Structure 1
């Protein structure tokens, strides 16, 4: 286990942690779901039904945090696409989630997403080695009431990677879980961890849980899906303007959500997902990435480790059209979050995650490969230190190209080879001035024409189609 970069002292992390516990105990969460109130009251929470608030004693909160596993498996369609979620797991990309547009960084064009675009995202994600999880997008060519069901169908048919199943309601989620069940074989198989999916449990900042969110949580618990808890809060809007303040409120919200989830199903896996934004008081606009937000994500990583729960964040960009800024944000965010020890990192989103870009996804995959190679460092041993080889060359031929030591290690010592970044001389580049985005687009074309995902069995496809038709009949 390698050490990770930690910006904050243990004392500072404890101050945030204690403030979050104080908020939960003294301010609590606003909730009205009758069954959840009964369950929480039975677990030791104080429920005030007149004010619709639930107060969480510190003992209960810490007991429930301890129930959540430190590490768990996120399953793909088959085991080769499984990956580990944990505080010290290998870094992975989660593709953009919830976006409504497809942005082409090479041609500088944008259009509303379609089911075909979602299938493209699934295929590209299937091909890229650093992508662990594929997020649901929002198609424009499906019924409005069941768009999330159509999105999941496109993903299930075109990727073997784990899927973050975004949903619009518990009624829709019922059908989405049936689709996963069709692919996985049975509900029992899903409960045992072979489910190809992850759920989502949201709080409305500040400190409010809706009834339908509870209904979704109960469905996730029934099927055994791990659950991401995104704290999507706006610094200066629905959270304090100070960075420490947003961390206190967000951590309290995460802790409260974890208590609810563990009360519904003890041991259900969760992530602390820092998805903060910042209100620009000078313009009224929203910043989706900034130096200040990255500093708060550094604290989220440490707070998650304090809670012994995996962290996740998102590398996105406020820019919807500038390739240069997109590359900067992706590189900075990916490298920084990997150094922080954030194992699952959202990506490929532009314009505050309103747009998905296949080019951004390919570039982030390359950046993550580069970052991981740096962190693998090198072997230090008497053989690799090459003292004898240095003596031989320094007193002999004066070159290492043909030296026995070079030939011995030529294939054994790793050298990263990028699929899109080039290191040719300026003179050679001017002879064939191909841009980075052009090479990325060429690689995208190569994936789309050459990568294949084994199709689902015919009876599974038919069952999925029947579920979609039933959902359309019931919900539209």
Structure 2
């Protein structure tokens, strides 16, 4: 069966925006005189995948998912259009319950959904390819609180939101600006999405995510993208990737379906993600969870293709275990890692990009628990071949808090993962035979020409770890990792300079936001 592949259009650069550019020459001159922000390219993996299921196991999970879809079905609530789309496609619709003939959603997805796509940034140098053997790191998503060593835990504000966007922009191993890096509770619920999307556009030039809390807020995101990139460019290219969560178990609600339809119709990407706390929202077993996850993804991803064939869609999974004593979510445990690794295999068989993982932990502060649990989540994420990694940096307290120190500690680890995924250098320089010949038996490599030539790039240099002597560490204040991270994020924000944006586009965005805000009163729903 033929599948859509990236086209020449996906490599095109966006126009300057929906309005006539003003001040372009001045912006270009200013850009040439400013120091360029270091940025690592998105990962093109050169290491093997870790696969935990063989052919027999994968076929078993797929059969069980089809059984769930056929016998149990999926609820599509508060969305008559979605129900009608599936009815017209051949599903059995009774009330809000949809039951699917075996193989129907899979055939719809495989007929039109792209295996990979380019998400365009307003700076074409920051474009990312999502799918295939590529990995894209994005920040934490969704917490209502922030935490820092200075203030402890408090509700997040729009200033915090801007700070995390700036930190993501300044972090070389973060490839994507993300979405709700924290929830700015100081702004009205019905209007804060405008400031959030604008912050991603104005304070970064990396790709970004859109609002999904109401369909009209998704529509506002698309309209802002049209102002930024131009309507024709958005119609033919993907400039937004957004998170659409299932209401597990086996429910798609009207809010998420509404946002999904807005983005799919506009040719923008949806990350279709069951949100799973195993034991509460799925069975306690990995195999049972995988079957349910696959069923929910097939129903959601299939809906995107019924809305607009060819719209990009990502197979997402957020899977965590819970404490069977308290019911609280737990992270860094082996069972969710197995689910993520196996789900990545299922996504590759389905033929669409995959999202999971990140730097997840239940710890309330950036301590040893946070580090261990995050590492035990991040490493399987990379080993799985995940294409889009949400929550790559900043996650604390089971997703309730975005941590300033945790953010830069995590980005340090993301840089290490970038090196790991690059594999072993087998070039002539990597083989280093000249160095071995020069040094010979019994000497050392410290002064040889090969070592000197590779001095700056030979090994990853952590910005957080302290590798000095005890005496030097003590003389410099005996700081722990979190204290060093505190100094680092403050220095990054002090050094931040906003990327240039066309003044005419910026003006048009601000006019749009002002008009939308003036049209309705403030509301907290």
Q: Which residue of 2 aligns with 1:247?
A: 290
2-side partners of 1:185 and 1:388: how far apart? Answer: 54
Cα displacement string for residues 94-136 of structure 1 (whole angstroms, at most 9, x for unaligned residues): 11111111111x3461111111111111111111122122221
2-side partners of 1:171 and 1:38: how far apart? Answer: 21
Runs of at least 5 residues in structure 2 that lack an aligned partner in the other structure: 1-45
TM-score between the two structures when normalised by the length of structure 2: 0.83
The yes-or-no answer on 1:374 pairing with 2:417 is no
Moved more, 333-342 or 35-44: 35-44
The yes-or-no answer on 1:359 pairing with 2:402 is no
The equivalent position to 1:449 in structure 2, one of 476, 494, 508, is 494
CA apart distance, 1:254:
0.5
For 1:70-469, list aligned pairs within 5 A: 70-89=115-134, 91-104=135-148, 106-107=149-150, 109-133=152-176, 134-136=178-180, 137-186=182-231, 188-193=232-237, 195=239, 197-315=240-358, 316-347=360-391, 348-380=394-426, 385=431, 390=436, 393-394=439-440, 398-407=443-452, 409-410=453-454, 414-432=458-476, 433-469=478-514
1-side partners of 2:339 and 2:200: how far apart? Answer: 32
| CA shift in 2, pair 1:124/1:387, >3 Å | closer
2-side partners of 1:78 and 1:356: how far apart? Answer: 26
2-side partners of 1:22 and 1:165: how far apart? Answer: 34
2-side partners of 1:287 and 1:191: how far apart? Answer: 41
Contact preservation (8 Å) 1:172, 1:471: no
TM-score between the two structures when normalised by the length of structure 1: 0.91
2-side partners of 1:381 and 1:468: how far apart? Answer: 52
Moved more, 454-463 or 320-329: 454-463
| CA shift in 2, pair 1:31/1:167, >3 Å | closer
Cα RMSD, aligned residues only: 2.4
| CA shift in 2, pair 1:150/1:391, >3 Å | closer
| CA shift in 2, pair 1:423/1:206, >3 Å | same
2-side partners of 1:151 and 1:451: how far apart? Answer: 18
Q: Which residue of 2 aligns with 1:18?
A: 63
CA apart distance, 1:378:
3.2
Runs of at least 5 residues in structure 1 that lack an aligned partner in the other structure: none
Cα displacement string for residues 192-239 of structure 1 (whole angstroms, at most 9, x for unaligned residues): 2252x2123332222222234333222112322111112112212232
Partner of 1:58: helix, strand, or coil?
A: coil
Contact preservation (8 Å) 2:227, 2:505: yes
| CA shift in 2, pair 1:238/1:435, >3 Å | closer
Contact preservation (8 Å) 1:127, 1:447: yes
2-side partners of 1:256 and 1:463: how far apart? Answer: 38
Residue-pair matches, total: 468
1-side partners of 2:56 and 2:125: how far apart? Answer: 41
CA apart distance, 1:241:
2.2
Moved more, 411-420 or 292-301: 411-420
Contact preservation (8 Å) 2:211, 2:217: no
